[in-house]
Amino acid sequence: MGHELRLVRAEELAAVGQLTADVYIGDGFVVESDGYVEKLADTARRAREAEVWVAVDGEQVLGSVTFVLPGSPYREIARDDEGEFRMLAVDPAARGRGVGQALVELCLRRSREQGYAGVRMSTMDQMTSAHRVYERLGFTRLPDDDWSPEPGVSLLAYGMRF
């Protein structure tokens, strides 16, 4: 049950957006009426303004992550010498296969390829399974960078220096 990592293809944009929105809603991180759902679903825009990577098994998309370069409107907390990633989502049916970890490791590799000194990102406080992946990979909590994009949403900052 292997998977391949690559940039999203045009014909997958809608499915990746749907998967990302479904995961965030299904896992209880956002409600369907939340304006953020539209941002999660708009993979076409993300692919124009950042790098959208997918983990695939044949034709099936197992998960995706958005890797954000400097200058992208999707950047939130990264310093100029750091990579950042967002909107990590893994199909519930594909969990336990290392897909999320592989996508995070890809973002670490992309950051090193870009010559960055590290990676920084935000994660919702209730995304505890993702936090375990980040900590296992060597990320540390950066509480000084915790923030809230809107009332009732707490984002925790994590980072890693190379």
Strand runs (DSSP E) across 44-105, as ranges? 51-57, 60-68, 82-90
The residue ranges of every structural domain in the chain are 4-161
What is residue 1's predicted lDDT score, i.e. its pLDDT? 52
- The CATH classification number of 4-161 equals 3.40.630.30
pTM of the model: 0.94
Give tens-digit pLDDT for 102-117: 999 999 999 999 999 9
What is residue 161's predicted lDDT score, i.e. its pLDDT? 97
Closest CA to 120 of 70, 73, 154: 70
Say how many C-beta atoms besides its own lie within 10 A of residue 137's C-beta: 14
**Dist CA 7 CA 99 (whole Å):** 15
CB 22, CB 43: distance < 8 Å: no
Q: pLDDT tens track of the chain, all 162 residues?
A: 578 999 999 999 999 999 999 999 999 988 888 888 899 999 999 999 999 999 999 999 999 999 999 899 999 999 999 999 999 999 999 999 999 999 999 999 999 999 999 999 999 999 999 999 999 999 999 999 999 988 888 999 999 999
